Amino acid sequence: MSENDHQATVTLKKGEGRTIKAGGMWIYDNEIDRMEGDFDNGDIVAVHDFDDYFLGYGYINTRSKITVRLLSRKKDTVIDEAFFERRVRDAWNYRKETIDISSCRLIFGEADFLPGITIDKFEDVLVVESLALGIDRWKLVIVDALKKILAEDGITIRGVYERSDAKVREQEGMERYKGFIGEPFDTKVQITENGVKYIVDVEDGQKTGFFLDQKNNRAAIHRLCKGKRVLDCFTHTGSFALNAGIAGAKSVLGVDASQLAVDQATENAKLNRLEEIVTFQCADVFELLPQLEQQGEKYDVVILDPPAFTKSRSSVKNAIKGYREINLRGLKLVRDGGYLVTCSCSHFMEPELFAKTIREAANGAHKRLRQVEFRTQGCDHPILWAADQSYYLKFYIFQVCEER
């Protein structure tokens, strides 16, 4: 496919396109000077700088603020089924080299040079989330390529489920959708991670059913939890709590505001024969922590893994308040010499801002923090340096000391 085969060309305004020139993949509506030629939304177009210099091929959607998402910067690229198969093969080879692949994220959108699509593998099931119109057209091609490539390594995929039910699809002019791709199957899937067994509900669980990005971070708490009393806040389906339990904690309390999550977490505790040690409570963490403090409770390890308090730049101020409050409350419950495990999964809570917020919480609680380690998301969620939105998870472990 030569450049001439792309019917339409998008030309940028002079001085625009800073993101893609720095290696990113998004072109916003306000960066575009003109569009020439015939196209339908979702089609592949060529992108030129103001002086006609070729910048790449991408798919267009004039209904989205991100009007073009770049797929390739090479002029001689042919965007066809073989192109997507190469991308998928690269993504799989990378994961085989870097992480335990029994369950992992196989495709991480822009960071795998496939903007707008995420695919998670839970044992022999794939869960697909498609958030851009252009990639939606190639979705089945990508899924078929994945099945073929995994089969080459002896991995047979039993079923594929689509979880394209996020609100951002509406910004692309697409309906939210969830359902089977191909034959129906049992959507409760058992996986094992760090020696812990879970039932993952790919149909009704949050996002794609389970948060794989904390895999290595969950393993990192094992050494701290042996023989300890642990509190896990925003436990979701119990992952940190169960890691603490399997590592030999004396007692673990997991808290979540969702009764569904607490029920699933309780099932997971039974699955691991930890129900005597790891218990769960349905409560609002912001309300429960002050109550525990009033009762004089102290824990050896307090874990805070809240949902993203902000999904946009405009609500960052409120998010800072939320993170500061929850870290302040959490710190007050850690005994002298115990540990605080705290994270933020919001891209807009930038690392410096998150660190500053924790520092303010520590000052407010009159505690001294000694950093044990700082981590980010698992390497199956690679951080592409040019694509800022691919770096979102910040994870700290601190030892908490009283005034010495």
Q: Which amino acid is at 306?
A: P
Q: Which amino acid is at 75?
A: K
Determine the Cα–Cα distance for residues 215 and 213; give it in Å rounded to an integer.
Answer: 6
Annotated catalytic residue 233: no
Determine the Cα–Cα distance for residues 206 and 117; give it in Å rounded to an integer.
Answer: 17
Q: 108-130: b or e for each residue (b if 16 or more CB lie within 10 Å)?
A: bbbbbbbbbbbbbbbebbbbbbb
- Are 111 and 94 a contacting pair, CB within 8 Å? no
Q: What backbone phi and psi angles, to 5 degrees, belong to 369?
A: -110, 130
Residue of 343, 345, 379, 401 marked catalytic: 345
The three-state DSSP-derived secondary structure of the chain is CCHHHCCCEEEECCCCCHHHHCCCCEEEHHHEEEEECCCCCCCEEEEECCCCCEEEEEEECCCCCEEEEEEECCCCCCCCHHHHHHHHHHHHHHHHHHCCCCEEEEEEHHHHCCCCEEEEEECCEEEEEECCHHHHCCHHHHHHHHHHHHHHCCCCCCEEEEEECCCHHHHCCCCCEEEEECCCCCCEEEEEECCEEEEEECCCCCCCCCCHHHHHHHHHCHHHHCCCEEEEECCCCCHHHHHHHHCCCCEEEEEECCHHHHHHHHHHHHHCCCCCCEEEEECCHHHHHHHHHHCCCCEEEEEECCCCCCCCHHHHHHHHHHHHHHHHHHHHCEEEEEEEEEEECCCCCCHHHHHHHHHHHHHHHCCEEEEEEEECCCCCCCCCCCCHHHCCCEEEEEEEECCC
Read off the tokens for 112. Answer: 């795998």
Positions annotated as catalytic residues are 345
